[in-house]
A and B are shown apart, each in its own frame.
Chain A
Amino acid sequence: MTIPERTTQDWPIPKLDFVEALRNVNKWEASNTTARVIRVKVFRNYSAEFIEPFLKHYFATRGMRCEIDFGGFDAFQQEIIEASDLNSYNLILLSLTGDALIDGRHRGSSPEEAIAKISGLIEHIETKTAASVVLNTLIRPLLDEGGASFSLQPTSQTHRVDSYNRQLRTFVTKKSPRCALVDWERIVMLTGVEAAFDRRLAYTASAPFRHAFLNLYAREIHRIEGALSGRTKKCLVLDCDNTLWGGIVGEVGVEGIDLDPNEYPGKAYYDFQRAVLRLADQGIMIALCSKNNPEDVESILDNHPHCLIKRSHLVASRVNWRDKEVNLRELVEDLNIGFDAVVFVDDNPMECARIQALLTDVTVRQVPGRLHDLPVLLDQEGLFDKIGVTKEDFARTAMYQKEEQRREAAKLFSTAEEFLASLEIRASIRMAKDHELSRVAQLTQKTNQFNLTTRKYSEAEIRDLAGREDCAVYALSARDRFGDLGLTGVLIAKRADATAVIDTLLMSCRVLGRRLELQFVTECLRQLIERWRVGRWEAEYVRTEKNRQVVNFWDQFGFEPVAKDPDRILYQARTASLTLHPTSFVALEPA
């Protein structure tokens, strides 16, 4: 088996025939009637219906059944103001073309006024649903009245659309992740004008867009949803020779590799390294897995004048002569992530095929034969898409490196307690603050192992929970003598009469092994008793493939299992019968 090269043109656009998309979707929906449903509402001022098969197609590729409701034609303002069912949708599209929005001939339609109108509508939507809203930029006229120079005039439509787009970007950035943006002009750049527009139907049926445009629009919406719900990759594992640089260092020596940005193919590798570093900056973990002499690779990372990737960028490294499958298994275990969070890049088709066959959840990408395609290899599919970057994302690599130091330090102590005490752990346990809610949402989406119920929440949903009287969102931040561990624990409780229900309990894997989870839960329970004065407790364990390690977690706190089925254990407790576990080696810091 070989992995075919994915790239056959410079800007590969997924070609999707309308009839084939529709046929596949019909077939898929008929045989996947119980698939997870994602409900989408489209407010629009043009005939947008033809997007349906494309949108359904992309969600089906992720095993989701997409149900789409279209608002009335050009009735979006009234409908948004009057809508009462918006909270039953997972995603809202406010899909508007420019003609009616900003037209110099009408009063009340300047770019500023159009933005004010959009902003007012978003406010309405926000009061009705926690779902995110996807907006779009407008497309500048292809032929401006008065030519290219005239378009510099503030009265030209080009200038007005430009101004609207700029203000919209600022607005959406401020509102992220509640709002997201699709850049329509970029789609036209990719498809070409002829494939994007249908002037004939724009006039006769208010349907200005052709299938090629709607296909890419649907793909962007699907990518945004994936990023919003955190279903993207966490770790990039790279081969070295002929992946990070050209040539085999063991044969040509450090001086002989291709990595010079002033030469080809050196520039292709150099630019690929730049692309990798951009991912690292966003919190993607970078690791090496290659068959080399470690000294050779270290020498390039440390000394080669054009090597941008340094040892400090790596969370882990497996440079040796062992089987790559074994190395990958070890990496995934050390980093505490799933295989499905890993993207593996190698130039060797045999290695790629082997890893894909043995570790089917890993996403494998081969270095393209046309090396000039290498720098954009990781940008095209949205593998690492994300909306917004948290403080923890920036600091992730350093944290994993410190974890390595801690593992070394642990070897010096004879008992676990002695070691833990030596770490001088300090923890802050309190209701999550406003600026922490995006990290809290991210943890609910990404934490798979120490997670009792695995409920995934968007930031908007977390914000909603945190604002409620009958709900408490607790956060754990910790540090030790090696450094800051960041916000790494979440507990969400809901009150129903005299009962407190633990909805969510999770800990990021990188803080496990310190018994912080005991201190965290102990302190949360204490604070909840004080806050709500409840007599009864309920907690739950919902089984997944990855959370076996916490199957008996609630027993130690005095919870009794009252209902057990293969997928779920329901626990109850009385306040008087709770067993708390304060630990002596975790110092609590005031909130």
Chain B
Amino acid sequence: MSKQLNSTLVDVLSVTLRVPADRISDDFSPADCSNWDSVRHLMLMLAIEDKFEISFSEKEIAELRRFATIRDAVRTHVARK
């Protein structure tokens, strides 16, 4: 389950930000990806919410800007469902 969550999330980032999946490591952040601007960031957050049927708080939306952090947040939300 956890592994699948990880690969689904990698896929969402890869498609939304248009980067190859193998470039997405735990530390992957806007600094590694010129496509990851503020509009793309919102797009990404909404895409993740849709995919996992969860809802981030406004604080999370503002702060989730590193792959591992996003994954932890998704995990917490999914576990809470």
Tell me, yes or no, whether B78 is within 8 Å of chain A by CB: no
A19 x B39 contact (CB < 8 A):
no
B46 x A18 contact (CB < 8 A):
yes
Residues of A within 8 A of B16 (CB): 19, 22
CB interface residues, A 2-38, toward B, < 8 Å: 17-19, 22-23, 26
B42 x A205 contact (CB < 8 A):
yes
Tell me, yes or no, whether A50 is within 8 Å of chain B by CB: yes
CB interface residues, A 199-248, toward B, < 8 Å: 200-201, 203-205, 207, 210-211
- Partner of B42 from the list A19, A22, A207 (CB cut-off 8 Å) is A207
A47 x B47 contact (CB < 8 A):
no
A204 x B61 contact (CB < 8 A):
yes
Tell me, yes or no, whether A49 is within 8 Å of chain B by CB: yes
A49 x B43 contact (CB < 8 A):
yes
Say yes or no: A19-B61 contact (C-beta < 8 A), given A47-B42, A207-B42: no
B12 x A200 contact (CB < 8 A):
no
Task: Determine the residue in chain B with the shortest Cβ distance to A204.
Answer: B58
Residues of A within 8 A of B43 (CB): 18, 49-50
A26 x B42 contact (CB < 8 A):
no
- Where chain A touches its partner, the secondary structure class is helix
Minimum CB–CB distance for A50 against chain B, Å = 6
Minimum CB–CB distance for A120 against chain B, Å = 29
Indicate the member of B16, B18, B46 with the most A CB atoms within 10 Å.
B46
Residues of A within 8 A of B11 (CB): 19
Tell me, yes or no, whether B22 is within 8 Å of chain A by CB: no
B58 x A19 contact (CB < 8 A):
no
A17 x B50 contact (CB < 8 A):
yes
A201 x B50 contact (CB < 8 A):
no
Q: Given the complex of chains A and B, what is the CA–CA distance between A333 and B43 in angstroms?
A: 50
Residues of A within 8 A of B46 (CB): 18, 50, 198, 201, 210-211
A18 x B42 contact (CB < 8 A):
no
Say yes or no: A19-B18 contact (C-beta < 8 A), given A49-B39, A204-B61, A205-B42: no
Residues of B within 8 A of A204 (CB): 58, 61-62
- Partner of A18 from the list B18, B39, B47 (CB cut-off 8 Å) is B47
CB interface residues, A 167-199, toward B, < 8 Å: 198
Minimum CB–CB distance for B5 against chain A, Å = 15
Residues of A within 8 A of B39 (CB): 47, 49
Residues of B within 8 A of A203 (CB): 58
Minimum CB–CB distance for A472 against chain B, Å = 48
Interface residues of B (CB under 8 A from A): 11-12, 15-16, 18, 39, 42-43, 46-47, 50-51, 58, 61-62
> Can you list 20 pairs linking A and B with CB atoms under 8 Å apart?
A17-B50, A17-B51, A18-B43, A18-B47, A18-B50, A19-B15, A19-B16, A19-B51, A22-B16, A23-B15, A47-B42, A50-B42, A50-B43, A50-B46, A200-B58, A201-B42, A201-B61, A204-B62, A210-B46, A211-B50
